[in-house]
Amino acid sequence: MLLVLSEEQKAHLGCLPRVGGAGLALSESWGTWRWSCCGAARRLRPVRRLPVRGKLNAGVDTVQHGVEGLMYLLTESSKLMISEMDFQDSIHVLGFSDELNKLLLQLYLDNRKEIRSILGELAPKLPSYHSLEWRLDVQLASRSLRQQIKPAVTMKLHLNDNEDLTTQVLQTDPSTLLHLIQQLEQALGEMKTNHCRRIARNMK
Amino acid sequence: MRFRFCGDLDCPDWVLAEISVLARISSVKLKLICAQVLRELLGETIDVSVPTGNHASSQASALAVMCASVLQYEKILKLTSDAKLESGDVKAAIAVLDFILSNAAKHNVDGESLSSELQQLGLPKEHATGLCRSYEEKQSSLQDSLRAGSLRLSRLDGVSWRVDYALSSSELQEVGEPLVHLLLRVRHREHGEPEAVPMAVSAEKFRVLLAELKQAQALMKTLL
């Protein structure tokens, strides 16, 4: 699958041959650091690029565009998991020297796994289980009726919603709780059926 | 294998694995570490001076608890320093002791049974008896602190009241009605701010409320 680069991105990447291989190495070293810091925002702050700019002898905008173009190239390639041949064909259209092409390819292959793991964490997550507190109570009397026996289980479910701890209070009688447990055990038991086993085997 | 201190269930694998770590520490040191873990479970602070003062007290006590737990961990590190254990092993030992002691208190296991079950799991006799002796001393206070930490949806922090007498109003010149203002302070979360629930109650309604609450109190007294 070939990566299609828009005209703007081609122009951004056009600065790369000018700064040469050294520039590429420098942008690689803190480019990867950038990914882990900015994540989805993908914004570059001007201050950070000053030391690089001095070494590369190029304008701030050029450097910013160059790094952005490089980031786009590498993130899209890692996201789509394109093969080496496809990557080489995609950057061939930029018309760089062979040496630069090889450097880009090496950069892609070295950092592909790390980029993929960072991209994997950017997907939205549902609230996940943190802990459960419970108590078993018996209601003996109320304003309207004395001499009762009414057992109830009260639960406080702690959930982790993107670093936020939320709680839900639930209350049930023992028979509903038993039904709940039975349904959950049936759900766990589904993993052992032939259908699920076949799918799990094919996914490996 | 069913164990009483695990609630009549199998012992978790990690506990089995870490009991061998406990066996490597000498029984005297184990008893001292046990005492530290018990202190932490009971939430006691060791002698850290806490500055007094209304605002600072809650923050200071939280800080003191944090410092205390750090100091206790350092104390435990010092105790195990000559047993040549790695830091991962020390943490595992603390975790295992925490599990054994809190679960034994949870399931109301006496010292004898705990000792025999630990020996079945492979803990040497001296270590087991030392551990169980420390456990027996603190069993009731452990159970009290666990009872206090059980799930509770909300707590009444305090009640303030005021009785007013309305003399006159825009509707009627001579009103002459007593009125009770109640302010209930309810705490929903353990360390949160209490919520203030104000209400004004007329004389009849207040009499009914008082009568019902007295009946509820009488019922509670029969259970205690």
Work out the pLDDT band at B55, boundaries 50, 70, 90: very low
* Option in A135, A140, A169 nearest B150 (CB): A135
Interface test with A, best of B151, B190, B210, B220 (most A CBs within 10 A): B151
Provide the terminal-to-terminal Cα distance of chain B, rounded to the nearest Å.
38
Mean pLDDT of A31-55: 47
Asked if A134 lies within 8 A of B223 by C-beta distance, the reply is no
Residue A133 Cα, gap to closest chain B Cα (Å): 6
Residue A118 Cα, gap to closest chain B Cα (Å): 28
Within an 8 Å CB–CB cutoff, is residue B151 touching chain A? yes
Mean pLDDT of B63-71: 63
Chains A–B, number of C-beta pairs less than 8 Å apart: 18
pLDDT tens profile A138-171: 999 998 998 899 999 999 999 988 778 888 999 9
Helices B111-120 and B125-148: angle between axes, nearest 10 degrees: 130
Residue B151 Cα, gap to closest chain A Cα (Å): 6
Q: Which of A31, A42, A112 is nearest to A78 (CA)?
A: A112
Residue A146 Cα, gap to closest chain B Cα (Å): 9
**Which residue would you say has higher pLDDT here, A11 or B152?**
B152
Most confident of A106-110, B51-55, B161-165: B161-165
Which chain A positions have a beta carbon within 8 Å of B217's beta carbon? Answer: none
Asked if B151 lies within 8 A of A156 by C-beta distance, the reply is yes
Within an 8 Å CB–CB cutoff, is residue B153 touching chain A? yes
Least confident of A88-92, A134-138, A190-194, B140-144: A88-92
Asked if B219 lies within 8 A of A141 by C-beta distance, the reply is yes
The percentage of chain A sitting over the pLDDT mark of 70, rounded to a whole number, equals 76
Q: Which of A199, A201, A18 is nearest to A94 (CA)?
A: A18
In the prediction, which pLDDT does A7 show?
74
Residue of A nearest to B211 (CA): A143
In the prediction, which pLDDT does A41 show?
39
In the prediction, which pLDDT does A99 show?
84
Within an 8 Å CB–CB cutoff, is residue A156 touching chain B? yes
Asked if B223 lies within 8 A of A140 by C-beta distance, the reply is yes
Asked if B151 lies within 8 A of A146 by C-beta distance, the reply is no
Give SS3 for B125. Answer: helix
What does DSSP say about strands B155-166 and B177-187: parallel, antiparallel, or unpaired? antiparallel
Work out the pLDDT band at A19, boundaries 50, 70, 90: low
Most confident of A56-70, B53-67, B89-103, B154-168: B154-168
Mean pLDDT of A20-32: 54
Asked if A133 lies within 8 A of B212 by C-beta distance, the reply is no
Within an 8 Å CB–CB cutoff, is residue A132 touching chain B? no
Q: Which of A3, A202, A203, A1 is nearest to A104 (CA)?
A: A3
Least confident of B76-80, B102-106, B206-210: B76-80
String of DSSP letters for chain A: -PPPPPHHHHHHHTTHHHHHHHHHHHHHHHHHHHHHHHTTS----GGGGHHHHHHHT--HHHHHHHHHHHHHHHHHHHHHT--HHHHHHHHHTTT--HHHHHHHHHHHHHHHHHHHHHHHTTS----EEEEEEEEEEEE---SS--S--EEEEEEEEEEEETTEEEEEEEEE-HHHHHHHHHHHHHHHHGGGSHHHHHHHHHH-
ipTM greater than 0.95, yes or no? Answer: no
In the prediction, which pLDDT does B152 show?
87
Within an 8 Å CB–CB cutoff, is residue A139 touching chain B? no
* Option in A134, A143, A155 nearest B212 (CB): A143
Which chain B positions have a beta carbon within 8 Å of A154's beta carbon? Answer: 151, 153
